[in-house]
Amino acid sequence: MRMTLLALALAVGAGASAQLHVGTSNVSLLLDAQPGERFEYVYFGPALAEADIPAIMATETHVDAYPVYGMDVCNPYAFAATHADGSMATDVRVESATQTRDEAAGSTTTRVRLKDTMYPFYIDVVYLTRDDCDVIETWTEISHQERKPVTLTEFASAYLPIRRGDVWLSHLNGAWGNEGNLNQEKLTPGIKTIRNIDGVRNSQNAHSEVMFSLDGKPDERKGRTIGAALCYSGNFDLSVNTDASAWHRFTAGIDADNSAYPLAKGEVFVTPALALTYSDAGTSGVSRNFHRWGRKYRLCHGDTERKVLLNSWEGIYFDVNEPVVKEMMGDIAEMGGELFVLDDGWFGDKYPRTGDKSGLGDWVIDRNKLPDGISGLLKAADSLGIKFGIWIEPEMANKYSELYDKHPDWIVQAPGRDPIYGRGGTQLVLDLGNPAVQEHVFNVFDRLMSEYPAIDYIKWDANMPIKNHGSHYQSADGQSRLYIDYHRGFENVCRRIRQKYPDVTVQACASGGGRANWGILPYFDEFWVSDNTDPLQRVYMQWGTSYFFPAMTMASHISASPCHATHRATPIKYRVDVAMSGRLGLELQPKHMTDFEKEFSKKAIETYKQIRPVIQLGDQYRLHSPYEGDGVAALMYVDEPRDHAVFFWYKTEDFHNHHYPRVAMDGLDPDKMYRITELNRIDDNPLACDGQIFSGAWLMANGVDLPYRHGMPYMSDYSSRVLRLDAVD
């Protein structure tokens, strides 16, 4: 690896100012890092021309780039600490600024070292940019040489001032079975905080990613838009403070409440990265920046197509038994699927996992249910030509488990108080800050994989929050480390697992979509979007989730009708068409499908395999949002050369003689001609556009004429269309 310390283009002007340009091809962050002075922010937005920078430096308002608490306490701050001598005031100045170029990686690291004016106390603000994506990752590294520990009480990863105006915030919220809801609101005076304190999972109720639309109400296709994603798996706090100043002051980082961190002399506290991006192409443009960056630099196996799978959960729940499981494996193989995943219910000896009250922690096969064990299932999968995957929930235990009998001190528990139980009234969270627990969690994975190396996929679940505060492992004065050390422990285990098992596919599930975050995705291939597989609600949830995560991360399964979560009945085409816009899978008992449903799904699986590279590795263009309330949603994927695309159209409301908006396409090459083919066709009558050739220019200006409904006998409340576009010479 060749690293070059770039002579910093600190064009030190006549005044006390030193420009520091952190840039990607299309995005610039301009800072003032004059040694001995305050570290200041000047600009963030579209890439700057070098020729403009001196005048910008001289004329734009400079504001704190990373304000700390102490000498300007009436203003928002990103950092606060109690120093060894008890002082709560910190005051820092730039000590140095360096830019290091790594030619092999095509990346540049910018490091601004801030030093307290009184104490040997340092904050390094770091920025990482890569040549081929428009995301700036930024974080801080905090250290000191004071006599005693310094207690960190606020430690945002980043601070970004955003000029006041008609600025709108987009963020996701939800609940179990209703994850990834998109909220868009104008920023008004006051503090808007998006926060999660679940302790274990962090994306069910709120999400640690946001967008700021600078030109008024967010638009999917146009408008200056900033995106920010905190890459962390634990409690977070994203706040926008709109006060009397000219700025919306945005801070993002670990939630510091009840997490004061005692930083030892010489220790370095590294905050999680905040991924920052900018696009002129609206919210969809920012999403594409995140998707590309994620697939290339953050997501495990971001360049590899995912398999089509059948997961057993909604098909059989805890009723695991060998003949049924083997039958399901045969069915998915026959339908063209590539992987079968055995969900919860396969384990437990002394305390069999017959329901959610027992067995968690005891990762031994229940021989009553599976006499031939995992080997038998792997053999069956092999003979069917499919792969096999299995469910675990290694961070947890049940009160009724041999693990808890042996290690009652491994659980998270308030000192001296009774344990607090979660799912099933018996579930407990293991204290991952404890190295012995980390070893246990690693071993759960390691034992399975070393004993059964043919396992292709692990579904890693986590179904309980931290409900009480306390660690048997931490010292009395270290109790506030509980949350942070939990996630450090989690990451340590994930890192070890990936070192040893780089190839296995791992899904992050957490009571559905509780772990959709960029903190875990370096170790996980995908996440379960929600336990709710109702296709209508999934249109909304997947729309929201796609704001920050690419299609290949979003496990999206065809399930039974009526849906188990909502009891809504929907036609198979609608269920298939919605599931196909993400990582396609099935979540049902195939033997309960009608012949028609089975045949339709089988054809769709075949089709999906052909279009999978475009959906999973292409660029997403969100075209018409279901949240607009117009009764229709449409999106498309386009491959990089803009030769192939797939267009999805869903009706979300059905009223007789109601008119739905015509949807123009996006992302195509205006000069190329594209042949349209309808996929998953259910009507007897082909669409008028089927087989026709249109220019990209026409399609992007007009789209195609689509009937609002399917013909009889397929007419229902739920219409959907999938079109494939292929460039022709």
**By CB under 6 A, which span of 75-83, 507-515, 596-604, 655-663 interacts with ligand DGJ?**
507-515
Q: What is the nearest approach in angstroms of ligand DGJ to the Cβ of residue 461?
A: 5
**By CB under 6 A, which span of 12-20, 182-190, 249-257, 505-513 interacts with ligand DGJ?**
505-513
Please enumerate in sequence order all residues whose Cβ is within 8 A of that of 641, keeping only pairs 6 or more positions apart, or say none.
none
Choice from 313, 346, 351, 486 touching ligand DGJ (CB under 6 A)? 313
Q: What is the nearest approach in angstroms of ligand DGJ to the Cβ of residue 319?
A: 12
Q: What is the nearest approach in angstroms of ligand DGJ to the Cβ of residue 581?
A: 20
> In the window 645-674, what residues touch ligand DGJ (CB under 6 A)?
none
Alpha carbon of residue 688 to chain centroid: 39
Choice from 283, 284, 463, 537 touching ligand DGJ (CB under 6 A)? 463
> Please, which residue, 79 or 524, has the CB nearer to ligand DGJ?
524
**By CB under 6 A, which span of 57-65, 241-249, 282-290, 509-517 interacts with ligand DGJ?**
509-517
Site string for ligand DGJ, 420-459 (x = CB under 6 A): ----------------------------------------
Q: How many CA atoms lie less than 13 Å away from 622 in the CB half-sphere?
A: 33
Q: What is the nearest approach in angstroms of ligand DGJ to the Cβ of residue 510?
A: 7
Q: What is the nearest approach in angstroms of ligand DGJ to the Cβ of residue 430?
A: 17
> Please, which residue, 331 or 344, has the CB nearer to ligand DGJ?
344
Choice from 255, 344, 485, 597 touching ligand DGJ (CB under 6 A)? 344
Q: How many residues does the chain have?
A: 729
When asked if residue 343 is in the footprint of ligand DGJ (CB under 6 A), the reply is yes
Q: What is the nearest approach in angstroms of ligand DGJ to the Cβ of residue 379?
A: 24
**By CB under 6 A, which span of 57-65, 147-155, 263-271, 506-514 interacts with ligand DGJ?**
506-514
Counting residues that bind ligand DGJ (by CB under 6 A) gives: 11
- Tokens (6 digits) for 431: 């204290």
> Please, which residue, 32 or 343, has the CB nearer to ligand DGJ?
343
When asked if residue 338 is in the footprint of ligand DGJ (CB under 6 A), the reply is no
Q: What is the nearest approach in angstroms of ligand DGJ to the Cβ of residue 513?
A: 8
E strand or H helix at 309: strand 309-311
Concatenating the DSSP letter of every residue in 420-461 gives: ---GGGTEEEB-TTSHHHHHHHHHHHHHHHHH-TTEEEEEE-
> Please, which residue, 309 or 722, has the CB nearer to ligand DGJ?
309
Place of tokens 């000590």: 95
For residues 548 and 293, the answer to whether their CB atoms sit within 8 Å is no
Task: Indicate the Cα dihedral angle 625, 627, 630, 631, nearest 10°.
Answer: 90
> Please, which residue, 208 or 463, has the CB nearer to ligand DGJ?
463
Concatenating the DSSP letter of every residue in 264-296 gives: PTT--EEPPPEEEEEESBHHHHHHHHHHHHIII
Task: Report the residue number whose CB is nearest to ligand DGJ.
Answer: 344
Please enumerate in sequence order all residues whose Cβ is within 8 A of that of 331, keeping only pairs 6 or more positions apart, or say none.
310, 590, 591
**By CB under 6 A, which span of 30-38, 144-152, 504-512, 543-551 interacts with ligand DGJ?**
504-512
Residue 529, CA distances (Å) to 513, 545, 567 in order: 4, 8, 19
Q: What is the nearest approach in angstroms of ligand DGJ to the Cβ of residue 516?
A: 12
Closest C-alpha to 561, from 542, 581, 534: 534
Q: What is the nearest approach in angstroms of ligand DGJ to the Cβ of residue 359?
A: 11
Q: What is the nearest approach in angstroms of ligand DGJ to the Cβ of residue 531?
A: 5
Report helix angle 482-500 to 435-451, nearest 10.
30
> In the window 39-98, what residues touch ligand DGJ (CB under 6 A)?
none
- Tokens (6 digits) for 154: 């606020």
What is the C-alpha separation between 131 and 134, in angstroms, rounded?
8
Choice from 154, 220, 461, 577 touching ligand DGJ (CB under 6 A)? 461
Q: What is the nearest approach in angstroms of ligand DGJ to the Cβ of residue 329?
A: 18
Please enumerate in sequence order all residues whose Cβ is within 8 A of that of 630, keeping only pairs 6 or more positions apart, or say none.
624, 660, 661
When asked if residue 509 is in the footprint of ligand DGJ (CB under 6 A), the reply is yes
**By CB under 6 A, which span of 233-241, 508-516, 532-540, 682-690 interacts with ligand DGJ?**
508-516
> Please, which residue, 119 or 391, has the CB nearer to ligand DGJ?
391
Residue 461, CA distances (Å) to 343, 355, 573 in order: 10, 15, 29
- Tokens (6 digits) for 191: 């503090």
Place of tokens 């009891």: 567
End-to-end CA distance of the chain: 43
Q: What is the nearest approach in angstroms of ligand DGJ to the Cβ of residue 616?
A: 21
For residues 72 and 66, the answer to whether their CB atoms sit within 8 Å is no
E strand or H helix at 557: strand 554-559
> Please, which residue, 126 or 325, has the CB nearer to ligand DGJ?
325
What is the C-alpha separation between 584 and 672, in angstroms, rounded?
29
Q: What is the nearest approach in angstroms of ligand DGJ to the Cβ of residue 511?
A: 5
- Tokens (6 digits) for 549: 């995560």
When asked if residue 511 is in the footprint of ligand DGJ (CB under 6 A), the reply is yes
> Please, which residue, 207 or 557, has the CB nearer to ligand DGJ?
557
> In the window 516-545, what residues touch ligand DGJ (CB under 6 A)?
528, 531
Degrees to nearest 5, angle at CA 493 with 492 and 494: 95
Q: What is the nearest approach in angstroms of ligand DGJ to the Cβ of residue 19?
A: 50
Closest C-alpha to 293, from 108, 497, 523, 134: 134
Which residue ranges make up the site for ligand DGJ (CB under 6 A)?
A: 313, 343-344, 391, 461, 463, 509, 511-512, 528, 531
